[in-house]
Chains A and B, each alone.
Chain A
């Protein structure tokens, strides 16, 4: 029974990691930039949803849609203002820039919404179902369902829409995409918008619904998840997220205390040593 309980909480936490990791992977695949601020973008998304739903009292669905829209715009704006000048600069510079951006976002959130934890009003609230010894929270179901729905939507988007296919083309070969008439820069902006939207969804769906300016730190674990899954593979991001979430729960229960915080990183280091390209490799060897 305990195992099933751990599985449930591991999967629901893993879905949050997976959603943030999806944002990392989207941006990395398309622009080859690493966005370390993804966790903090998630935090901002959660706070904007909090503003619409709790402070302005909008119904959940409208507040959620409004937050997603605002985050999409903010994502595109970030790309235009901060990342566009960095095209062609080394990875390290972009990495540092997004780390700096994360610090700035955290300060802005602390100033705007205060540093005490807030609870988002969610329609599923604290609903709990019991099956014998196992309890399933409404938030667990919401995050798993939300992740499945988003994955389905993303699949349809990348498979069937013009924009989705243009994004795939831009991420496979920028120059070739440019030659066939895809506005690569605008596509990059849209990729950032999409990643910010995913982050906002993760922020709203995260189990517990508690938000404070420091929740963005789970972005680092989500990054570990993205690498475990293979940076550059969308299904890999979700699977990596699930692995990290599960390993965290089980390590916290069966290994010594304090190990649950490190397990994501141990998993990451082990993966980097055994198979540095991740579970679903997106890198190829180049012959010189």
Chain B
């Protein structure tokens, strides 16, 4: 057990609580920076995909995990980012400008969706965002002059002096984007607006009585969340290379929600765990499928079923997600002979009804 002696106020909001954390995060940084030396192209591509998922996860986590607003429509923001980025590249915009514009545009759309969403909470909000996703899907399929409709739209190569679409360069690009998103999100969370978001999540009534402007906070959360997801969408466009409307469906939204739930709601560590989980699960399923008897391996839609099953099991048995599980394991070792099971006994929870508002 480590006790931190605080000697300055800055320590309270420091991103790293003690030197041990600095050491281990340093090791992690070295490992991901040196990864291209030891991994082949396929694994590098998979890791880049994990980073992209993590960027989208940062966006969704800010909204779902920290502001408490559920969105089933984040695939729409991913699609808007991807299409906007690819379209601008096709118009001859330079890569960084196109990516920034796609991020900004997604953010603006997010704010536009967030304003009508102010009047809704919980289940109503989830369904409204779902409706938004379906409408965006239809627009993508039918606005042929811009999106190419069902035929799809090729994504030009990312170039900035060097070819950024090459595996190693793309890996570093995604890593850099994830690093910047993570730092931005973490800093944002310890700013007054970030604290306001958590207050809105915990109780709107008490947040309002403390002088927090709820409408402003929620709309901003929607906008920022959509912007991160749009950034992920821009990178995702390069990853898949060819955009078609069926790459951004309700299943994609659910996958992103699975990411934040399995990772652990309300923690940025959870985003990374969840992204690793989401990114590598299809590969894992493919491996098991090869090894399994044909009766199992030929089930159509097995992957979606496994996703659903894992979601159900996590929600029932470990609502804190992978990060919550890891914290329990860590506490067990920290307090080793004195660990008591009851520390993490689940408390009885009561539903806050939405029928009376």
Give the interface of A toward B (CB within 8 A).
32, 34, 82, 85-93, 95-97, 99-104, 106-108, 110-111, 115, 213, 220, 223-224, 227, 231-232, 256-259, 261-262, 265-266, 268-269, 272-273, 276, 282-286, 288
Q: What are the 6 tightest A-B residue pairs by CB atom distance, in nearest-first order? A: A107-B305, A103-B308, A100-B311, A265-B131, A100-B308, A286-B356
0/1 string, B322-356, CB within 8 A of A gives 1? 00000000000000000000000000111111111
| Nearest B residue (CB) for A283 | B355
Identify which of residues 27-62 in chain B touch chain A, using a CB-to-CB cut-off of 8 Å. Answer: none
CB-based contact A88/B131 at 8 Å: no
Chain B residue contacts of A266, Cβ below 8 A:
131, 135
Give the interface of B toward A (CB within 8 A).
64, 70, 116, 119-120, 122-124, 126-128, 130-132, 134-135, 138, 141-142, 205, 250, 254, 257, 261, 299-302, 304-312, 315-316, 319, 348-357
- A sample of 22 inter-chain contacts (CB < 8 A) reads A86-B315, A89-B315, A89-B349, A89-B351, A90-B351, A91-B122, A93-B319, A96-B315, A99-B254, A100-B308, A101-B312, A107-B299, A107-B301, A231-B123, A256-B142, A257-B142, A258-B142, A268-B131, A272-B124, A276-B124, A283-B357, A286-B357
**Distance of A238 Cα from B267 Cα, bound (Å):** 42
Are A99 and B132 also in contact (CB < 8 A) when A32-B354, A89-B349, A231-B123 are?
Answer: no
Are A91 and B123 also in contact (CB < 8 A) when A99-B308, A107-B308, A284-B356 are?
Answer: yes
Knowing that A89-B351, A276-B124 touch, tell me 11 more A-B residue pairs with CB under 8 angstroms. Answer: A32-B354, A88-B349, A90-B352, A100-B309, A103-B254, A257-B142, A258-B142, A261-B134, A265-B131, A268-B131, A272-B124
CB within 8 A of B127: which of A32, A256, A268? A268
CB-based contact A261/B138 at 8 Å: yes
**Distance of A158 Cα from B351 Cα, bound (Å):** 26
**Distance of A247 Cα from B307 Cα, bound (Å):** 34
Chain B residue contacts of A102, Cβ below 8 A:
308
| Nearest A residue (CB) for B309 | A104
Main secondary structure of the interface of B (DSSP, over half): helix
**Distance of A102 Cα from B304 Cα, bound (Å):** 10
CB-based contact A227/B141 at 8 Å: no
| Nearest B residue (CB) for A104 | B308
**Distance of A272 Cα from B261 Cα, bound (Å):** 27
| Nearest A residue (CB) for B348 | A88
**Distance of A151 Cα from B74 Cα, bound (Å):** 37
Chain A residue contacts of B319, Cβ below 8 A:
89, 93
CB-based contact A103/B316 at 8 Å: no
CB-based contact B138/A100 at 8 Å: no
Chain B residue contacts of A227, Cβ below 8 A:
124, 127
CB-based contact A96/B311 at 8 Å: yes
CB within 8 A of B357: which of A92, A101, A285? A285
**Distance of A104 Cα from B310 Cα, bound (Å):** 10
**Distance of A264 Cα from B254 Cα, bound (Å):** 21
**Distance of A100 Cα from B351 Cα, bound (Å):** 21
Q: How many whole Å from A91's CB to the nearest CB in chain B?
A: 5
**Distance of A266 Cα from B357 Cα, bound (Å):** 25
**Distance of A213 Cα from B304 Cα, bound (Å):** 13
**Distance of A223 Cα from B128 Cα, bound (Å):** 11
Chain B residue contacts of A32, Cβ below 8 A:
351, 353-355
| Nearest B residue (CB) for A84 | B316
Chain B residue contacts of A99, Cβ below 8 A:
254, 257, 308, 311
Chain B residue contacts of A111, Cβ below 8 A:
299-300
CB-based contact B130/A220 at 8 Å: yes
Chain A residue contacts of B311, Cβ below 8 A:
96-97, 99-100, 103
Q: How many whole Å from B282's CB to the nearest CB in chain A?
A: 14
CB-based contact B351/A104 at 8 Å: no
Chain B residue contacts of A231, Cβ below 8 A:
123-124
| Nearest A residue (CB) for B295 | A111
CB-based contact A88/B127 at 8 Å: no
| Nearest A residue (CB) for B126 | A95
Chain B residue contacts of A101, Cβ below 8 A:
308, 312
CB-based contact B138/A276 at 8 Å: no
**Distance of A273 Cα from B305 Cα, bound (Å):** 35
Chain B residue contacts of A104, Cβ below 8 A:
305, 308-309, 312
Q: How many whole Å from B122's CB to the nearest CB in chain A?
A: 5
| Nearest A residue (CB) for B313 | A100
CB-based contact A107/B302 at 8 Å: yes
CB-based contact A100/B354 at 8 Å: no
Q: How many whole Å from B294's CB to the nearest CB in chain A?
A: 12
Chain A residue contacts of B357, Cβ below 8 A:
283-286
CB-based contact A110/B299 at 8 Å: yes
